[in-house]
Structure 1
């Protein structure tokens, strides 16, 4: 009878060990969660109007000759049919040498080059704004397991001879009632 009880206890122990092992493998496999990525993008844009930018630098790039009209005298003169020559032999226009200037307008957001007798934009260089991008990985807290295999110390029933209570050290199946 004692031999049979030992065999039943050994078989029961092996079955419980295998069941516990299967439960632990299932719980460990289900708790492997990927981190939750949290992405935050902050763009700082300040609106500052530039109504009349001041040139930072100006250089002469070349000269052109332009024909400009001269001022007429205030005196009354006889009417002349040929308007390119006045009655005293002078012309009504004069050639003037005009320097072509290039001016640079610059702030921390742009740089512009403007030049010409009739002003025109030569080039415009824009400086992009900066974005702050923060990526943080938030790992979820693992769920505590309730079922497990544990090493146990306590009193047990000894099957040698007459059944009696003796201190014992055993491996057993445990269930957590409270998570602290």
Structure 2
């Protein structure tokens, strides 16, 4: 093979590369390009109302009473029964249970909606590129390297 043949093949390969690089049209975004975006949403709810209320137990709580008799103050404790209840709050975003005389959060289930969107770029079937293989030429069977049009099956 002569030197100008090799140079011509290399120049054609370079031209095909540049042609393919700057003429491809891409719709949408690249699949391989990823961005990380962190967003914190604040969900404001109006004053929730209990959906269900259950009396768990009744606890006697000491309530001091001061009695004044003839200038003398006597402290007399009285036990008052106090109901301890558990209230259940339910919305589309959470399910919470609160209970106690001094209310405390027992447990909460939070329902967060997460959406994953994956955009796929369709593969190009037809293309122009360097083709290599084995073929029949003037001198019989010989290796072949050239420029050609191809169709991708898979």
Go from structure 1 to structure 2 and tell me whether the alpha carbon gap of 1:99 and 1:46 turns closer, same or farther (over 3 Å shift). Answer: same
The structure with the larger Rg is: 1
- Preserved CA contact (<8 Å) 1:54 1:105: yes
5+ unaligned residues in a row in structure 2: which ranges?
A: 1-8, 21-29, 132-146, 149-154
Match of 1:63 among 55, 58, 62: 58
Runs of 4+ residues deviating >2 angstroms: 36-41, 43-48, 69-72, 140-145
Q: TM-score, normalised by structure 2?
A: 0.52
Aligned residues: 110
Alignment of 1:3-82 (within 5 A): 37=31, 48-70=43-65, 77-80=69-72
Q: CA RMSD in A?
A: 4.3
Kindly indicate whether structure 1 or structure 2 has the higher relative contact order, using CA contacts under 8 Å at least 6 residues apart: 1
Inter-CA distance 126–96: structure 2 relative to 1 (3 Å threshold): same
8 Å CA contact 1:67–1:95 kept in 2: the answer is yes
Which TM-score applies when normalising by structure 1? 0.45
